[in-house]
Structures are given as structure tokens and as C-alpha cells.
Amino acid sequence: MADFDRRTALKGGLTASAVGLLGTHTVSAAAAAPGVQEPQIYGTAAWNARPPNGSIVVENHKPTYIVVHHTVDPGNVTDYTLEHAFWASRSIQNFHMDTRGWVDSGQQFTNSRGGYLTEGRHRSLEILRGGTQHVLGANVGNNNSTCIGIENEGLYSKEDVTPALWDSLVKMVAYIASQYGIAPAFIKGHRDFNSTECPGTVLYNRLPELRTAVGRLLGSASPKADLPEWPLLKPGDTGPRVRTAQELLRARGFAVPIDGVFGQSTKDAVAAVAAKNGLVRDACGATAETDETGFLGSDVWPLIVGPGSDPRALKAQLAG
Ligand SMILES: [Zn+2]
């Protein structure tokens, strides 16, 4: 860096003493802005978090994926204040500790509709600043060791996020990506791992835009096209993808009709596959959650694909 600047300065015809001054200046400027600037993130002490109920596990590796969630509850509030963001952080922590029985908040970070960022699980901010380790959370069932999660306040199945939430999400994801050297392609939605609606179809459909925005802040080249993910199918859905799922379930011994309608027997079959394989999705957000039993998503598809078929080809076919 300094060498490069020196050469550039010499090319510009500056005297040796001017280069010396410039060199000093360049070093301090470079130290102040490595990668992406840290956004304002309020630590657990700022929002008066409870102490954890046990030890926080810090793993000696970086996370692989940055995962976007929606909290579902308390819905799409219009209180955009910092006080509300702190209240929401406490509410999520209480739910995760008292109802879920976890040691602390499940997610590493929380983002409010007013655009305020808070630390979720204790030590997440300190460890993120270090850029080499990972605070083990509880937000992406069976994948917590590779995923660092951001809970975005609200329900985004039909409605879009606020501009303030979007801006802070872009900044937060870019900062995490910069700290850990994570490429934009590794920005995911919760549903890319578990059979859940999270982060809501509207926010999920904006992930390509998020990857592009983060890529711009990282200064990376134009991001590659997004790879197809397994589709999320829900009870009540109809169409050729449901029919494909039913054919696969039939081949696995489930007595479901092949009619392209995601009815009760298809739901029961999917729920049985999930239960038999110990699939959990972990919680998103605060209080009661919608019932997602029988949702067919990223973790169920690989279990019903027959030994004779190619999962990648099927994934591409289902996406198209
Ligand atoms: Zn989620």
C-alpha cells in the first residue's frame, strides 16, 4: 500500500520531502479504513441484556455464511426509535431464554425497523471485531457452526422492509463479510438451510440485490449469478413442483396422491421425513411463531431425492 502510494506520488512529480509527508499521512489513513467501516452496533450492555444462562461457545474458525432472518413478531411496528430497538432485543432474548431454554439470544445480531443494530448473543460484537472466530448461536438449525445470523425485526412474507432497515442490513452484512472475507454469494436466507418461510418471501427475493449492494461496498467484481436453491413448498401450494415432490415421496414409500396439490397427506409425509431425520430450524424472533410443520424446503428435498437422481439437475429444473 505505502509502496504503491509512493510510486504514484513520484509519478506525479512530488519532491522527496513531500513524499515523506504523504507517506505518513497515507499510513494513518489506511489504518483508519481497512475494508468496510463498522456501522454503529449497540452492545448487550447498551440495551440492558440479561447475563447469559451458561457459557457462550466461541469456535476457532470463521463463519461460512451470513444468514438473513425476519423476526415475525412483533410484526411491522411503526415505532422506529432506539428505545424500541432495545425493547425488541430484550423481548427476543427473554423469549429465547425463557421459552426456548437457550443460554442467550439465538442470533448474533438484530436489526430494527428503525435501522438500529444491536448485538444479540453476548460476545458477538467483540468476536466479530476480531475477525477470526465465531460465536456459536442458535438461529439456523443443524447449521449453527457455519452460520452467523441477523434477525430483522418484522414480517416480510408480503410486505417490504423499511428503507432504514434495508440500509442498516446492507451495512451490517458488508461489515461481517469484510471482517471474515465472506464473498457475497455466501449471503443466504434462513430458508436456504431449513424448511421455513423466514426471512419472508419479499425479503428473500431481495437477497440478490443485497449481494450486489454488499459486493459494491466490498469493492468486489460484479457478483456471479445466484445459484438456484431448493424451492420452499407449503401446504396449500399447487403446481408441477408439488407434483414432483409427491412423486419423490411416493418413491420413498409414502402413500400420497400425485395430483400437484399440497394437501394433508403430503404435509404429513413431509413432517414425518423431517421428524425422522431430526430436522430443526431454530427460532426466529420474539414470541409465538407461525406453524411451519410440513413445510418442504432446503433440508427436506435432499432427503427425498432418490438415489438414482441428480440433486443438482433437479434443483435447476425446479428453479426454472
Ligand atoms: Zn430465521
Find the 78 Cα to ligand 1 centroid distance in Å.
21
Find the 202 Cα to ligand 1 centroid distance in Å.
14
Its CATH class, for the domain covering 41-218, is alpha beta
Residue 290, pLDDT score: 67
**Any idea where the domains of the chain sit in the sequence?**
2-32, 41-218, 240-319
Residue 160, pLDDT score: 98
Find the 260 Cα to ligand 1 centroid distance in Å.
27
Residue 84, pLDDT score: 98
Find the 270 Cα to ligand 1 centroid distance in Å.
20
At 14, list the grid cell.
512530488
8 A C-beta contact, residue 138 and residue 96: yes
Listed residue (140, 135, 271) closest to 193, CA to CA: 140
Q: Over 50: is that where the pLDDT of 4 sits?
A: no
pLDDT digits (tens, 9 = 90+) for 131-168: 999 999 999 999 999 999 999 999 999 999 999 999 99
Find the 227 Cα to ligand 1 centroid distance in Å.
20
**CA dist., res. 143 & res. 129, Å (int):** 22
Residue 284, pLDDT score: 64
Q: Helix, strand, coil shares of the chain as percentages rounded to 5?
A: 40, 10, 50
For CA atoms 294, 299, 303, 304, the dihedral sign is positive
Find the 190 Cα to ligand 1 centroid distance in Å.
5
Find the 83 Cα to ligand 1 centroid distance in Å.
23
The more confident residue out of 107 and 310 is 107
Average pLDDT, stretch 80-85?
A: 98
Cell numbers 457452526 correspond to 145
Residue 27, pLDDT score: 40
| Distance separating the N- and C-terminal Cα atoms of the chain | 45
Q: Over 80: is that where the pLDDT of 173 sits?
A: yes
Residue 293, pLDDT score: 86
Listed residue (99, 93, 95) closest to 56, CA to CA: 93
What DSSP character marks residue 192?
Answer: G
Name the band, by pLDDT with cuts 50, 70 and 90, for residue 313.
confident
Q: Over 60: is that where the pLDDT of 2 sits?
A: no
Residue 291, pLDDT score: 79
Q: Over 50: is that where the pLDDT of 202 sits?
A: yes
Q: Is pTM, for the whole model, over 0.75?
A: yes
Find the 69 Cα to ligand 1 centroid distance in Å.
4
pLDDT digits (tens, 9 = 90+) for 26-77: 443 333 335 899 999 999 999 999 999 999 999 999 999 999 999 998 889 9
